[in-house]
Amino acid sequence: AVVSTQSGHYGRGMILRALKLPTQLFHQQRTFVGYVLRYKRNRVDEKRLKYMGAGRVAAEWILLNGGMIKLSNGEKWIKSLWDLPSDVFNENFILTHINCSNSRTLSSQGFRHIRNLPSLKQITANNCCHVDDKAIDNLIQSSDSGNLKHVELSNTSITLEGLITLGECKSLKFLDVSNCKKIGKHAIEELQDLQDAIPKCRIKY
């Protein structure tokens, strides 16, 4: 069918494509804004890291991405930047627990924050689609102290390669890698290799 206007003749397909264009532009714009937001919320400020200390900056990273944290001197979860102690920095700021499940902005880029956190005992990042294998290396370095016991990465974007690499986290007692679509449902051999690498760890898959 052809639609006639004062300025000429236009096919119906052309008109439909024109109507869809604003929607496409909206999705492209939203994708770009999301990328910028993830970059800003996960980038590592080396100067601030040096001045404030790894624990403090890592806590701010998690809270900025909608998560919550625990410190060594308290049982309550801290959920807001305003609730962080204003007079505790550097080695006195001891971060032990991180939970940023369901965050739409948390990404593997930000895991650089936890690389030098020997006090970290638990990391929970379930349902974080922007967390992939790039986060694993920083997890491993964080676990070198022997304190990291509990890691949850359910429904993230880690792959079989990342799964195998997690075997280097020798201190783990619990690991959740369930519902990771890029690992698949038939990684029996790889899971057995992982279990052999960390025999004292209970693996949920």
In this structure, are residues 43 and 106 in contact, taking their beta carbons and an 8 Å threshold? no
Q: What are 136's two structure tokens?
A: 């694993």
Q: With the C-alpha atoms ordered 25, 31, 36, 37, is the resulting torsion angle positive or negative?
A: positive
Instruction: Identify the band that residue 2 occupies on the pLDDT scale cut at 50, 70 and 90.
Output: very low
> What is the rounded CA–CA span in Å between residue 42 and residue 60?
10
Region 60-67: mean pLDDT is 95
Could you report the per-residue pLDDT of 70-83, keeping only the tens digit for each?
999 888 999 999 99
Q: What confidence score (pLDDT) does residue 50 get? A: 86
Residues in the chain: 205
Backbone phi and psi for residue 21, each to the nearest 5 degrees, phi listed first: -55, -50
Three-state DSSP class for residue 178: coil
The reply to whether the predicted model has a pTM over 0.75 is yes
Backbone phi and psi for residue 165, each to the nearest 5 degrees, phi listed first: -65, -30
As a whole number, the mean pLDDT across the chain is 84
In this structure, are residues 175 and 202 in contact, taking their beta carbons and an 8 Å threshold? yes
Amino acid (one-letter) located at 136: I
Q: Which residues pair with 71 in a beta bridge?
A: 95
Could you report the per-residue pLDDT of 166-176, keeping only the tens digit for each?
999 999 999 99
